[in-house]
Amino acid sequence: MKKLALVSLLSLALCGPAQAFGLNTLLSAGTDLVKSATLSDAEVQAMAAESSKALDKQAKVAAAGSPQAKRLAKIVSGLSSEDGLKLNFKVYLDKEVNAFAMADGTVRVYSGLLDKMTDDEVRYVIGHEIGHVKLGHSKKAMQVAYAASAARKAAAGSGNANVAAFSESEMGELSEQILHAQFSQSQESDADAYAVDFLKRHSYKLDAAPSALRKLAALYGNDSSLLSSHPAAGDRADKVEKLIK
């Protein structure tokens, strides 16, 4: 896929105006497309840190003394790290039922999720999102987003696509791509299994996993942010119940 993307860029360059696609820009973009497939864990963490800053700037973040922030602090009390990942938590004041985690330990929970879930159900969702990070799903999503951004920078003739070279708007676009990445059915199932183990490790209530999934399905069908691109919530709930038993 990466080779095809590079070939497409080169073909476009040969067909388009010379001034729009300089050879150095194309070579740089080609390097970035290849690099996207071999991003190190340190590079992914650095990209996640920059992305989380961009997303925090775009979002309305709950103040530390707000009811939402206080509740999340209670929910994650004692959870400063997980599986070697140092965690940092914030609440986004947004009615969307959503949450996400990133490779630098960023965990963001939307107030819409807090409104619909019990404390233990929120813990399950957090464990699920951390699972995407620890199982490498988020890294793959970043690689895809990085490759797409490299292609856009090449088309715009803006040169190097290293994270440090992204403009604020470009970083915002990259962050949005990462945030809205879609995971496969097997990735979702694996993250559910990780979340069950997460609940066990911390002595949280295990039945929060299927109850959270069934609650989302009852409230939204497959239209919620946490379910829209995922396997059917009922099927996932059945699977995690089997894991618990």
* Catalytic positions, written as ranges: 129
Nearest to 216 by CA among 203, 196, 235, 194: 235
> How many other β-carbons are positioned within 10 Å of the β-carbon of residue 79?
17
Q: What share of the chain is helix, strand, coil (3-state, %, to 5)?
A: 65, 5, 30
Torsion angle of C-alpha atoms 210, 137, 173, 9, degrees rounded to 10: -140
The separation between CA 83 and the C-alpha centre of its own chain, rounded to angstroms, equals 18
